[in-house]
Each structure stands twice: as C-alpha cells, then as structure tokens.
Structure 1
Amino acid sequence: MLDGLALGVLPDVAAELARRHPLIALVHHPLALECGLTAERAGALRRSERAALAEVREVVVTSPATAKVVASGYRVPANKITVVRPGSDPVSRVARPSNDVPHILSVGAVVPRKGFDVLVSALATLAEVPWRLTIAGDLTRDPNEAAKLEGSILRNRLTGRIETLGAVSSSQLAMLYAEADLFVLASRFEGYGMAYAEALSYGLPVIGTTAGAIPDTIPQGAGLLVPADDPAALAAALRDVIVDTDRRRHLSEGALEAARTLPTWQESAAIFAAALDRLA
C-alpha cells in the first residue's frame, strides 16, 4: 500500500514494485489539485500521478468526490476504486461556555489551499459585528503564505481580533473545539476535510465552501457552504451565523446529528480490510 502523496511522483518505482507485488494506492488529495501551482507544474504532476496509478491494482480514496476525480481525471476504472471515509472518534457532548463575543475557530495548515486570505478578507467587512477568530495550524509549511496572512491581519487592523497559534497539540485542539461557538474554513479544495468532521463531532455550526469533498461531509442543516474564493458570500454566511443565536443553536443540533452518521475508525478499517481481502 502506497500513500498517493509519495506514489504520485514515483511512477518508475511503482512500475518496478508492481512486477513483484500487487499495489494499492491511497489517494486522499490528487497532487495536481494543490493550490498555487503553475499550469506547467500541475500538468506534470497529473501525468506523473496518472502513470503511477496505472500500475496499481486498486485505489482507495477518502470521499465520493475524490473517487469521481480519480475516475475522470486519472483514467482509473470505477470498479478499481474503493471509498473509505476517514473515521471519527466520538466526542462526549460538551457544555459550551457562554461567550459574550462569538468565538470562531479555523483549523488547518496555513497554505494557499485553505483559503485563510479569503477568510480575513471576509471578516474585514464585518468590523461592526462582535467576533474573534482563532486559527490553529502549521505556520511553517509555507512561510510565504504565513507572512501574507500576518500582513493581511495587520493591514486590515484585525490584530486584536485574530490570533494565529501555529501547530497545537491534540489536547489543545480539543479544548479549542470545545470552547468555540462556530467553525469556519474557506478551503479551495478538500479531498475529505478532517477538520470539518471534527467540528461536527463537537456540535459546532460549520461555515465552509462547496469545493471538493466538503459537501460530502457537511449536510444541509449542519452548516452553510458558499462558493470558494468568494469573500462576499463567506462574509454573508458568517454574519448570519454570528448575529443569529437561534440559527447557531439549530445548526449545532444539525452538526451533532450529522456527526452520528460519520464512520468510526473501526468501521473505516473494516472497509479498508475488505479492499485488501479482495486484492488477496
């Protein structure tokens, strides 16, 4: 079994291994769909990953949306694709604190694909609305993007309202989910979106985008989804959920209901094991 993030740039290795072993590829994010690539680089990655996937017997993907991308864009027959959504650990219902100023949480590495630039632009238009934002995610993955984020916060005079924590421990992240009032992530693409699923488990209303697999994870009634790269639409959704406490409460209940439909890690493992059994 080879993770697609490595396999996609190693087609020659895949061809050599395939002579001796039946291979399974785990594709959670096609490489060419990363944001910020030049057209030339994206094309090269697509060709490389297509060649590598041609050497495998089966492909495991993390969402129905990614299955469609792999089938249509990478010429993988549908009967060779198995969807295994990542598991979610059940979370005991938490007593959320009563925040005078609604606390927004956003979780993800600070890279172009996560859309933090869009989020800051949207929040900059809501100066008269009470809110504060915490961003938890690696600031070292893309130093240029991290610098752009900090510059945007300063330029829009939001330093006192937006806190960037960098990477945090799992216990600190759990505390952040438990203390927040709503979750937002303006992703330009997600092959699944673990942070979205985690937010549902904590009963957080979710504001996200319609990009990639996000609609597979966030059903109606659990959050509001807007087009990617649309600060105005994102701002409107944020305003709606921030100022309307009843709407927030209803979305929170919807999030908890949606979380109950997410697979556990044991269920995900069983589906994955079945794919291995078929190959054997």
Structure 2
Amino acid sequence: MSAVVPVKWLFARLYEPDIVIVDCRFTMGKPDAGRTAYEEEHIPGAVYLDLERDLSAPVEEDGHGGRHPLPDIAELAARLGKVGISNESRVVAYDDQGGAMASRLWWLMKYLGHENVFVMEGGFTAWKNAGLLTSSEQKVLIPARFLATVQHNMLVEVEEVRESLGKAGVVLVDSREAPRYRGEVEPLDRVAGHIPGARNFFWAEGRRADGTWKSADEQRERFASLSQEDEIIVYCGSGVTATPNVLALREAGFVRVKLYAGSWSDWISYADNPIATGEK
C-alpha cells in the first residue's frame, strides 16, 4: 500500500477506533501559525503535533544537529502515547505545506519502527475542497502506550556523511531548491552551498502541478538517474523537507535510503567540513 492516501480513504475510516489523525501544519518563521490554524478548524478528531515543540529537539548553541534536531526517542515515544498513538494505531498525518511536515512525522514513526503511518494527499486544503466537515473541537485524549523499536539503519550522522564523500556506491541527494543548492541564495542558514558531490532533487518536484503526489512510476522516472543498488543519503536544510524525498524514493522502490537528519545546517556547524557551490 502507498504511504500517501487520498482524502476519500481517510473519510471512509474517519471513526474507526485504531485511526489516529495528526495535524502537522507548521509555517517556518511563524512558529505559532500551525497550532492557531488547528485551533480554528481541523479534521474532526485530529490531534496536533508541532514541528518544533514535538517533532524536534531544542537547537544546540553550537548548531550541531541542525535547526531541527531529532527529538529524544523516549520523549517522542511518550509524546505519541500521550496523544493516543499506540503500536496498534494507524496514523494519518496531514499538513498544508505540500506534505513536508506530515512527512517528517511519517519518517519519525518509521524510524521508531511503526509501519502503519500514512500522509494524506493534498493536506487540509484538499479536505476542505472536498466539502468535508471540519471542527474546532479538540479531541479528549486517551493516553496509550507506544514502544519504540528504533531502525538505526534509516539514519546517518555527520561522521558517516564525511566518510561517504567520493565513495563509490553512495549518492548524496540535496532536497532544496536549485538556487540554494548552487549557493546563489541562502535565506535560512549562515553559509550557502551544498555538500560536495551531492545531486539536486528538489523535494517539491515529487508532486504534480496540481499539488498531488506523483505515482510510483512517475517517481521512478524522476529518480531514473539513480541506481537502486546505491546507498542514498538524503538531506535538505534541517532534515524536514528531505523526508518527502525519502518517502518518494521509497515509493519508487529504493530501499537503501537514509536520512541525514542534521542536514545542511548541521554540516556547516563544523568548520572543517568542505562546501561546494554551483553544479558540482
């Protein structure tokens, strides 16, 4: 089954007891906008998880770990349980940012060993455009128990990225827009450029012009220049918009896909790390 489910799929299962719907809306630079939007209206029964408060750890003073460090595993598992997610839950995440925030939760849950997690096609706007009911009522939370089984092979740290530079059989994928990849602009981080040898696949190109996700065949065509035999390390600015590329690669049949969670903002926090600009 695809990791991306249509609005109608969720609507048909809206009140099934093992379904937990998670609103992940978040706007970079406006940290309260997502929660405010959730409190105004959301899919009935949805709970809210915040990118920075729930799905990331606090930023380190030295910048190591990047702008959105991975949360502590025990704290995240406890937080998931607190909003009613158990190991038996089917979790459906949505946002209104093209799937980037929902994919962060999708990746984190996969990393914790939870397979039944999905991203809703089109986000909250698609739900509203379908004429479906919304609510401002917040669900009464019944805590559950969530036990993590960490999938360490899904993640790489900065040391492994350093060791991969120029190594045969390892491909770095930069998920940012091309001007940021080339180092022409950098709106968020103090240094522009990319990790040497990385190839640019802008995450948003995993969607069609109408905003819907490309099919598995379309994703395979998009990544046709990559080999499924290679180990693929995906990064972005801070480990958020890399996750929809991880999802897209998995949909296309790639299995040796890892996330460099600290991403560019972590890479540049080490003064000795090399930096490339342009197309190289």
Larger radius of gyration: 1
The normalised TM-score by structure 1 is 0.33
Question: What TM-score results when the alignment is normalised by the length of structure 2?
Answer: 0.33
